[in-house]
Structure 1
Amino acid sequence: MYNSKITGLGYFVPENVVTNDDLKQWMETSDEWIQERTGIQERRWIDPATGETTSTMAVKAAKIAIERAGLTKDDIDFIIFATLSPDMYFPGGGVRVQDMLDMPTVGALDVRNQCSGFIYSMSVADQFIKTGMYKNVLVIGSENHSGGLERSTRGRNVTVIFGDGAGAAVLSRSEEEDKGVLSSHLHSEGKHAKELALEGPSTGRWVPEILAENNPDDVSYYPYMNGQFVFKHAVVRFSEAIVEGLQANNLQKEDIDMLIPHQANLRIAQFIQRKFQLRDDQVYNNIMKYGNTTAASVIIALTEAWEKGKINDGDLVVLAAFGSGFTWGSVIIRW
């Protein structure tokens, strides 16, 4: 059985910076109000004039990751693309990346697990490699939230949180038994699906139905989040996923060198940090700059932490996420 190891990382965020004060043009809010509740100071939103999309951002991140892995596009055996905001309802973004990178006709899989999408994708890629099916798998998380947010006071509780961006990792076969992905742990609890969801348009609430109603108060086509409910579940599930990963590898919380949590809310990350008694230099957060980029958040944060020299050879790195579904999980990595 083979082992899998991250050999390349990359990320891309739009140039357009939207500060908390900028949001005042659309809604009643303030920098203090947003920071107190989320920790966010600014986020990146695509400028429509640039023509940027979920897939084009993914391609830019992927090119960096592939180059850093010392590979070419022709060395990639499979693509796994995590997103809740594909360019089109169908087909998914994976095939768009394959086309834009002019790759051979490798398989492309789309993962729709929202905030835990990258964790799930890493787990799938790891299994493909460990079973010997593939040698190099390109794993991507990319989101274009800004095009689907309600820019009004009514929608501010959700709108102020989300940003756009993409990250990518190349997972490769490795002969080193003591390094790479040690384990991954995935969970779901569908009974809470509607606590963080976008119900329409969908096959359950299709476009003609919405248009026929002509109801200006219909918000089913904007994301909905029961913030307090999600927060309470997140802090529990984050902790469970981390503990599960550590126990599976006979490790303790003291063994963690770097925790990369999904960037959902700075208060959640700080709660987890206190619970595991981790120092500031053992947890990497960048939600202050980018907001919540859903499937892209963990991989953008991981790439930034690595670029800044905060992750070194032999470090124990823990990735953890919780989000819509509810779905959650963790990946334990020996760097």
Structure 2
Amino acid sequence: MYQSKIIGLGKYVPEQVVTNEDLCQLMDTTDEWIQERTGIKERRHIKKGDGNSTAIMGLKAAKQAIERADIDKDDIELIVFATLSPDYYFPGCGVQIQEKLGIKTCPALDVRNQCSGFVYGLSVADQFIKTGMYKNVLVIGSENHSGGLDMTTRSRHVSVIFGDGAGAAILTRSDDDSGILSSHLHSQGEYIDELSLRGPSTEKWVPEIIAENPQEDIPYYPKMNGQLVFKNAVVRFSEVIQEGLDFNALKKEDIDMFIPHQANLRISQFIQKKLGLEDSQVHNNIQKFGNTTAASIPIALTEAWEEGKIKKGDLVVLAAFGSGFTWGSVIIRW
């Protein structure tokens, strides 16, 4: 069995900054209300005409990761693309990336696990490398939330949270003890409807939805039971991190850097306190980027690495929780 390691990281966020004050012009909310509940001060949104999309942002992050990995694009043997906001209903963004990079017949697949998407994607890449099937794998998380949010008061508890952006990682076979030690994945489908977007879908397209539902309850916008999500997140985060540590005979004190999915600053702070970590051992950026779902961990991981917070030999823990409910962790020896 081989071991995989990350050799290149990249990120991209749109230039347009949307502050809490900007949102106050669109809905009945306040900067204080948003910060108190989420910790978010601003987020990035795609601006009409700036040329960005889910795939294009993913491409920009991927190119940076490829350059930093010091490999040729043709060395990539598999693309794994995590998103809940693809450019097309089908095909997926993975093949768009393959085409835009100019890679002839590289296999590509999409992961639809929302906030846990990048963790699931890393797990898929890790297994392909461990079994020897592929050597170099590109994993991308990218989201265009702003194109599908209800920017009115009725959806303020959801729409203020999300931002756009992309992150990417190149994984390859490790020739030493560094790399992904283990990944741990879970789901609990009984909570499907607590954080979801039910349509449009093959079950019901937009004209039917509009005809059958009053404007006060539009099911083609995201909906979220915030309190239930929060309560489950703090429990599952803790459990899956401990699961990863126990699997590798490690302790909380061994963690050098914790990169949580940027769902809510209050969740991250709760888990940080439970793990007994200092501020310097946790990287949060939800304050300036919002929740970028599948992109949040790769953006934060890239940012932490760029700032010199992660060095060779460090124990890095990634963890995510989100819609499904799904959750997972990845334990890495850098």
TM-score normalised by L of structure 1: 0.98
Amino acid at match of 1:192: Y
State the distance in 2 between where 1:268 and 1:190 align. Answer: 21
2:206/2:220 contact within 8 Å kept: no
> Which residue of structure 2 aligns with residue 120 of structure 1?
120
Check if 1:130 corresponds to 2:130.
yes
> Which residue of structure 2 aligns with residue 200 of structure 1?
199
> Which residue of structure 1 aligns with residue 174 of structure 2?
174
State the distance in 1 between where 2:152 and 2:311 align. Answer: 44
State the distance in 1 between where 2:256 and 2:204 align. Answer: 46
Please state how far the C-alpha of 1:262 moved relative to its aligned partner.
Answer: 0.2
Check if 1:267 corresponds to 2:259.
no
2:167/2:298 contact within 8 Å kept: yes
2:320/2:329 contact within 8 Å kept: yes
> Which residue of structure 2 aligns with residue 331 of structure 1?
330
> Which residue of structure 1 aligns with residue 300 of structure 2?
301
Listed one character per residue, the Cα deviations across residues 177-222 of structure 1 (whole Å, up to 9, x for unaligned) are x210000000000000100000110122222312433732341000
Amino acid at match of 1:299: P
Amino acid at match of 2:146: S
Listed one character per residue, the Cα deviations across residues 264-321 of structure 1 (whole Å, up to 9, x for unaligned) are 0000000000001100011100000100000000000000000000000000000000
2:80/2:138 contact within 8 Å kept: yes
> Which residue of structure 2 aligns with residue 49 of structure 1?
49
> Which residue of structure 2 aligns with residue 145 of structure 1?
145
Q: Secondary structure at the match of 2:154?
A: coil
% same residue: 72
How well do the aligned residues superpose, as a CA RMSD in angstroms? 0.8
State the distance in 2 between where 1:251 and 1:294 align. Answer: 28
> Which residue of structure 1 aligns with residue 110 of structure 2?
110
> Which residue of structure 2 aligns with residue 94 of structure 1?
94
TM-score normalised by L of structure 2: 0.99
- Unaligned regions of 5+ residues in structure 1, if any? none
State the distance in 2 between where 1:115 and 1:211 align. Answer: 28
2:21/2:30 contact within 8 Å kept: yes
Aligned residue-pair number? 334
Please state how far the C-alpha of 1:322 moved relative to its aligned partner.
Answer: 0.2
- Unaligned regions of 5+ residues in structure 2, if any? none
Please state how far the C-alpha of 1:90 moved relative to its aligned partner.
Answer: 0.8
Check if 1:283 corresponds to 2:258.
no
Amino acid at match of 1:297: S
> Which residue of structure 1 aligns with residue 214 of structure 2?
215
Check if 1:59 corresponds to 2:53.
no
State the distance in 2 between where 1:229 and 1:215 align. Answer: 25
> Which residue of structure 1 aligns with residue 242 of structure 2?
243
> Which residue of structure 2 aligns with residue 14 of structure 1?
14
Listed one character per residue, the Cα deviations across residues 119-141 of structure 1 (whole Å, up to 9, x for unaligned) are 00000000000000000000000
State the distance in 2 between where 1:217 and 1:200 align. Answer: 16
Alignment CA distance shift 1:71-1:217 (3 Å): same
Amino acid at match of 1:4: S
Listed one character per residue, the Cα deviations across residues 18-73 of structure 1 (whole Å, up to 9, x for unaligned) are 00001012101111110000000000000012131000000000000001000111
Q: Secondary structure at the match of 2:268?
A: helix
Alignment CA distance shift 1:214-1:254 (3 Å): closer
